[in-house]
């Protein structure tokens, strides 16, 4: 009987050891595949789940070793395009339709998990000593923790690889196992042959070329972008509707609403008082005649369906040709994000003034 138990125990240990080694090999091979490339280009689609809304982007990423990145995101609902560019000079968030860019002196993307960047995904997997791996429908699914300091609700990821260690999908979940973000990778070229010249800010600075126009004035008028949002007027630059956040921290209320006129139109300043006081500024914006670079101390951050700029106690973003600036010394980063994400075209109610 003892001999039988010893044999069974040996078999179990052998099977367990093989399973562990296979898991280690899968992670090792995927890590090597990502780390061995000097440049890659990938395409895919990203979905962000916020309350009952789903925001969908098409996604293109270029990477060159030594931290050169170019991430192009196009919102599939309104075709709004933005580019995150990192080169040797700085990190930029470019909005071509406005001829503007935020400029960051930031450690992005190394200071946070990134659901669509291969190096960040690999780092999260290897940094978690308790990562799990299982075989599902002929693929391998690796579960590991993530690190989103600007959005602590995000807790873990599930990375799906095929039998050849090609990444197919990455899903990000909160602590309640709710899916918050999903990236589906449709193609990856690990031998893209990119160079530093492919990551120049100048590539996105449009030139005022009217050589094909018989009437220069008409040409410039025809190419001026239109106000896209239902809350602004193309003719007057006026904000037709004031948009209020649906999420407001407890014991916080609207104190006053002020409207002032500027050279470009209306500016609305909403002041909230209480335990978590903050200010929200809304203003119509249009494309600059010359490319404008706005310095920001902080990091790029996705705010629902656009990319904004997160500062120490502030959040700035643009949506439907309306710029938003949210600031409050008493607000956490998560509260800034929740307030900003709750502002939409149909949100026309707010806590009453006290």
Are 326 and 338 within 8 A, CB to CB? no
Q: Give me the pLDDT at residue 265, please.
A: 78
| DSSP three-state, residue 118 | helix
> Is residue 154 included in any domain, yes or no?
no
> Is residue 261 included in any domain, yes or no?
yes
Peptide bond into 128 cis (omega under 30): no
Q: Flag the least confident range among 84-88, 117-121, 163-167, 202-206.
A: 202-206
pLDDT of 196-250, one tens digit each?
A: 999 999 999 866 543 344 443 334 334 334 444 444 444 445 666 889 999 999 9
Q: Is the pLDDT of residue 114 over 80?
A: yes
Q: Give me the pLDDT at residue 64, please.
A: 98
Domain count, the chain: 1
Q: Give me the pLDDT at residue 20, please.
A: 61
> Is residue 257 included in any domain, yes or no?
yes
Q: Give me the pLDDT at residue 194, please.
A: 97
Q: What is the CA radius of gyration of the chain?
A: 24
> Confidence band (pLDDT; 50, 70, 90) for 289?
confident
Range of the domain at 268: 252-341
pTM score of the predicted model: 0.82
- Which structure tokens are listed for 231? 């809350």
Pairwise CA distance, residues 41 & 26, whole Å? 22
> Is residue 337 included in any domain, yes or no?
yes
> Is residue 22 included in any domain, yes or no?
no
Mean pLDDT over residues 126-145, rounded? 95
> Is residue 332 included in any domain, yes or no?
yes
Pairwise CA distance, residues 122 & 142, whole Å? 10
Q: List the one residue out of 140, 137, 174, 176 whose CA is nearest residue 157.
A: 174
Find where tokens 């990938």 sit. Answer: 42
> Is residue 49 included in any domain, yes or no?
no
Q: List the one residue out of 214, 234, 215 whose CA is nearest residue 224.
A: 234
> Is residue 207 included in any domain, yes or no?
no
Mean pLDDT over residues 184-199, rounded? 97
Q: Is the pLDDT of residue 62 over 50?
A: yes
């Amino acid at each position: 009987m003892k001999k039988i138990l010893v044999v069974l125990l040996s078999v179990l240990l052998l099977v367990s050891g093989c399973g562990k080694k296979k898991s280690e090999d899968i992670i090792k091979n995927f890590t090597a595949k990502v780390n061995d490339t000097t440049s890659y280009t990938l395409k895919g689609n990203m979905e962000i789940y916020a309350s009952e809304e789903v925001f969908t982007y098409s996604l293109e990423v270029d990477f060159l070793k030594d931290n050169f990145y170019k991430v192009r995101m196009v919102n599939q609902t309104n075709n709004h395009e933005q580019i995150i560019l990192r080169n040797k000079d700085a990190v930029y968030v470019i909005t071509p339709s406005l001829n503007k860019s935020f400029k960051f002196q930031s450690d992005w993307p190394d200071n946070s998990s990134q659901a669509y960047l291969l190096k960040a995904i690999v780092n999260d997997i290897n940094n978690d000593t308790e990562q799990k791996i299982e075989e599902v429908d002929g693929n391998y699914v690796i579960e590991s923790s993530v690190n989103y300091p600007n959005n602590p609700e995000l807790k873990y990821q599930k990375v799906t690889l095929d039998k050849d260690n090609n990444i197919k999908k990455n899903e990000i979940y909160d602590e309640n196992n709710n899916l918050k973000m999903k990236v589906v990778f449709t193609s990856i070229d690990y031998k893209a042959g990119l160079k530093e010249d492919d990551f120049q800010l100048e590539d996105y600075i449009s030139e005022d070329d009217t050589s094909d126009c018989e009437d220069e004035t008409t040409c410039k008028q025809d190419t001026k972008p239109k106000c896209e949002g239902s809350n602004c007027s193309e003719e007057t630059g006026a904000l037709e509707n004031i948009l209020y956040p649906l999420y407001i921290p407890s014991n916080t209320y609207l104190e006053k609403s002020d409207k002032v006129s500027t050279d470009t139109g209306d500016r609305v300043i909403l002041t909230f008082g209480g335990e978590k006081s903050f200010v929200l500024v809304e203003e119509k914006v249009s494309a600059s005649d010359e490319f404008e670079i706005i310095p920001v101390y902080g990091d790029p951050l996705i705010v629902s369906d656009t990319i904004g700029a997160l500062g120490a106690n502030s959040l700035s973003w643009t949506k439907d040709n309306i710029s938003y600036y949210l600031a409050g010394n008493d607000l956490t980063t998560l509260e800034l994000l929740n307030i900003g994400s709750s502002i939409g075209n149909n949100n026309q109610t707010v806590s009453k003034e006290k």
